[in-house]
Amino acid sequence: MEWSFQSAEELAAALRVGAVTSVELTEEAIARIERDDKVINAICVPDFDRARAAARAADQARARGEDRPLLGIPVTVKECYNIAGLPTTWGMPAQRDYVPAQDAVQVSRLKTAGAVVLGKTNVPLMLRDIQSFNEIYGTTNNPWDHGRTPGGSSGGSAAALACGFGALSLGSDLAGSLRTPAHFCGVYAHKPTLGLAPTRGMVAPPAPTLPTDLDLAVVGPMARTARDLALLLDVMAGPDPLTHGVAYDVALPPARHERLADFRVLIIEDHPLIPTGSAVRAGVNRVAEALVGEGARVERRSPLLPDLTEAATLYMLLMLSNAAAGISVDVYEQLQTHAAALSADDRSLDAVRRRGMVLSHRGWVEANNRRELHRHGWRQLFAEFDAVVCPITPTPAFPHDHNGGLESRHIDIDGVEYPYFDQLVWAGVATMPGLPATAIPAGLSPEGLPVGVQLIGPMFSDRTPLRLAELLEQKIGGFQTPPQLPLASVQAGHARDAQNNSV
C-alpha cells in the first residue's frame, strides 16, 4: 500500500494500530522525493539522515507506549524557518552559508509533537514574490503544469504536499504566501489570526532570533485536508514561552456551527480595484451553490462589509512601509523623491505602494488607527455572518515569469493585463485586519488547473472557517492528485478520492 497521499490523521491512526511504522512512512516519502522532485524542485534542503533517525526514535517511543499528536508523521518546513544545522537563506545568495544553531519555535513544536522533518521547501528571494525561485535553489514548478508557478512564498511547501512529499508543511503568510500556493496547487492552508502562532525563528538571516510581534505576517499550517490543518494548528497555536507565554495560554473558542445549514455566509466575488477571472469566479460560485444547496444562509452583499478600496490602500501602506525598513539610505532617498513627484490625485495602487515605502511614523500611526476602525467594522459584520467566502487571487496559477523587476510584471486576467502586485488586494482582505482565513480547493479551471477560495472568519475564531472548510470538503470534494505525477501516485490518489467521496 502507498501511504504518501494519506492524511496526517489517517497516518496517525495507522501508526497507532501498528499497520505501518514511521520508518516505513519516512522511507516511502524519501523515495518519492528522490524520484519525483527532480522535476518539481520543491525540497531545496533535504535532511534525510536526521529524518531516518527521528523515524526510528518515533517507533521506539510508540513501542514504549507514547502517543503524541504527530508522532512518526513525515512533514516538511518552509526554508525561512530556522532548523539547527541546516542553512536558512531566504533565497539570498549572500546568506547561502548561514546555518542557525537553534530551531525556530514552530520547528521545536513540530519535533515535540513527534513529527519527522524531511527537509526544507523552496521560497522566492526574501519571500517577496508570488512565485518560488531564487539563485541558490532554482525554480519550483507547479505539479499540475510544470510551466507554471506553484505560487509564493510558500510555493515549495504547497508543491511538496501536492506531490505526496510529507503529510503536512509549515508555511508563512504576509501577502497570501500560504493561501496563494494552496490555491495554485490544489491543497489546503490556514492563515491564523495575527499573533495566534509565535514566529520566533522565522527571521531573515543574519538577524537575531527574537520573540518579535510581527505586523501583518503570520506562520501557519498547510495540508491536503481541512482536518489536518486543524491538527497542525493545535500544535502551532499558543503564545511564545519567552513573552506572553509567561502569563497565559491559548483557549480558542469552538466553531460556531457543526452543520453547513447553520452557517451564515457572505459571498464576495468582485473587488473594486481588480477584476475576478472567470475560472476563479466559477470556484467562488461553486462554493456558494454548495452552501445554498445545504440550506445555509448565503448573502451576496452587506452594508456591514468594510470598504474594500480603503482596505486595500491601508494594506499596501502598512505592508510596504514594513518592507522598506531594511533598505539602504541611498535607495530610501530615491524612493522619497519618486513619491514626492506623484500627483496628489494619483490614488492608484502603484502610487499607494510608492508612498508606503516612505511612510513616516506619523503616517503609519494614522493608517493603523484606520485599521482599527476596519477591525471594528469586521466585528460588526461577524455579528451577522459566520464567514466570508472570496477569491485568493484573480486567476489560477500563471506561467513562470522571472523577467525584470516585480514592479514591471503583469498578470493576465481573461486576456487583459494588470499590474502584477495588484492581485494582492484579495490577500489583504484578511491580512490587513489580522483575520483568520482558510484556503480550500474549489474545483478545476477549464484548463485543468486547481482553483481555490478563502474562507475568512472572526478574529481568534479560527475553528469556525476550519470547520466550514471541513464541511465543504465533504460536500464539494477536496485535494486531487495532479495528473502529471507518475501513474502509481495518481492511482493511489484517485483511490483515496473515491473512498472519500463515497462517505
Residue from 22, 153, 154, 169 carrying the catalytic annotation:
153
Query: Residue 353 corresponds to which cell in the numbers above?
Result: 505602494
Strand segments (E) across 254-386: 264-267, 297-299
Q: Would you say 114 and 70 are in contact if contact means Cβ atoms under 8 Å apart?
A: yes
| Residue 408 is among the residues annotated as catalytic for this protein | no
- In the sheet where 264-267 sits, what is the strand order? 43-46, 116-121, 74-78, 168-173, 218-223, 188-191, 437-444, 450-456, 387-391, 264-267, 297-299
| Residue 78 is among the residues annotated as catalytic for this protein | yes
| Residue 120 is among the residues annotated as catalytic for this protein | no
Residue from 4, 177, 445, 461 carrying the catalytic annotation:
177
**Which residues touch 470 (CB under 8 Å, ≥6 apart)?**
225, 226, 227, 230
Output phi, psi for 133, to 5 deg: -155, 150
**Which residues touch 34 (CB under 8 Å, ≥6 apart)?**
none
Residue from 4, 7, 22, 78 carrying the catalytic annotation:
78
DSSP 206: T
CA distance 173 to 222: 11
Q: Would you say 73 and 12 are in contact if contact means Cβ atoms under 8 Å apart?
A: yes
CA distance 83 to 117: 10
CA-based nearest residue to 438, from 416, 467, 415, 481: 467
Catalytic center residues:
78, 153, 177
